[in-house]
Structure 1
Amino acid sequence: MGFDWSAAAGTLEVVPALERLELLAEPVASAILQLDDERIGVAEIDPELADTAAFCEQYGSPLELSANCVVVAGKRAGEVRYAACLVLATIRADVNGVVKRQLDVRKASFASMDDAVERTGMAYGGITPFGLPGDWPILVDAEVAAARAVVVGSGLRRGKLIVPGEVLAELANAEVIEGLGR
């Protein structure tokens, strides 16, 4: 018997992500193959409903068990620094407080859509912490890390991953931060 994704899944039909790699962007599929973790589930969704609010309403997935992955950029001494921030959909990442300090930059802001898509190799609205550039920190809010399971993007708008918070907290470059979201 596999992992129980039901708390976060709503009405989704979830299977181990290793069985449906076509629902993942290429860098995401590569990362999940390397992890080889049966607790990472995937479900196919209508790509028009990939945005969090529409997704949760349609599929009955609790908003408080959906996590958004946002790409943040900041500059220091002419160098642009990137990070991915993972917070529950019910809160916002503290970009100009916590994230700015973590990146050690004067000002941090959300990366533009085109920049985020180009640098991640993922679709906007599907960006996920799996398969990101190896030098990016992945800042994970403590509430996400503590969740039994959360819904995140699959790198494509036609899929969603359902993942235990502890798996996200254990990703390479992941740092669990209390109060990342506010």
Structure 2
Amino acid sequence: MRAPIGTFDHAVPATEALQLLCEPVAKAVREWRGPVPADQLLFVDTDPDKADTAVFIETYGADLTDASANLVVVAAKRAVAGGTGSERGLAACLVPATTRADVNGAVRRQLGARKVSFAPHATAVEETGMEFGGITPFGLPAGWPLLVDSAVVDLPWVLVGSGSRRGKLIVPGKALEALPDAYVMEGLGLRA
């Protein structure tokens, strides 16, 4: 089948491409019970050397500029009760690719943190079990807050990572609000 966005020659339901997905993502696809049928979670096989957003869009279609979302992993520090130190927690933020996550504003407030920063690459990879540059909201560790910009949920189709630099998922935007620990909010992404 042809993909609903982009210039991909071939898209398949992600349930038919489980062998190409890392284990956390494959598990999330196998266990999908969201508001859209599992066969609407599509996988497109792509060149891993063209996974970065700008090169990817140049290669696979200009219409992907407004239909792509990027996920960033953040580390939040919260004060511990009694004022003795702080605890650290990880979260994920999904924003339109044309924006950047408002880490010091919207993210910090939503997580109730005193400080939020981007998680180190090694931490993001180790904790998610996914490749850096391909981390996706599907299959995130249990209990992680997933902050999703409402503009992404409003898209008819959105392109997100597949867990590796090879391949992408194309899903209806409304599928993202059904992910575990997802919180949809306005203003999460700021124009770059």
TM-score normalised to structure 1 length: 0.94
Q: CA deviation at 1:5?
A: 4.2
* Residue of structure 2 in register with 1:21 after alignment: 18
Q: Do 1:81 and 1:103's aligned partners in 2 also have CA atoms closer than 8 Å?
A: no
Q: Which runs of 4+ in 1 moved over 3 A?
A: none
1:153 equivalent among 161, 164, 169: 161
CA distance in 1, matches of 2:94, 2:139: 14
Q: How does 1:1-182 map to 2 (within 5 A)?
A: 5-6=3-4, 8-35=5-32, 37-60=38-61, 61-76=63-78, 77=80, 78-182=86-190
**Greater Cα shift, 30-39 or 119-128:** 30-39
Kept after mapping to 2: 8 A contact 1:23/1:42: no
How far has the Cα of 1:67 moved from its partner? 0.4
Q: Distance in 1 between matches of 2:101 and 2:76?
A: 14
Q: Is the 8 A contact 2:76 2:115 kept in 1?
A: yes
CA deviations 1:96-122 (Å, max 9, x no partner) are 000001111111111010000000000
Highest CA radius of gyration, 1 or 2?
2
Between stretches 38-47 and 57-66, larger displacement belongs to 57-66
Q: Gapped runs of 5+ residues in structure 1?
A: none
Structure 2 unaligned regions, length at least 5: 81-85
Separation of aligned partners in 1, 2:171 and 2:26: 14
Any idea what SS the aligned residue of 1:81 has?
strand
| Cα deviation code 1:28-73 (max 9, x no counterpart) | 0001100061110001111101111111111115211110011011
Give percent identity, aligned residues only.
54
| Number of matched pairs | 179
Query: 1:147 touches 1:164 (CA, 8 Å); kept in 2?
Result: yes
Q: State the one-letter code of the partner of 1:66.
A: S
User: Helix, strand or coil: the match of 2:15?
Assistant: helix
SS in structure 2 opposite 1:84? strand
Q: 1:23 Cα shift? A: 2.1
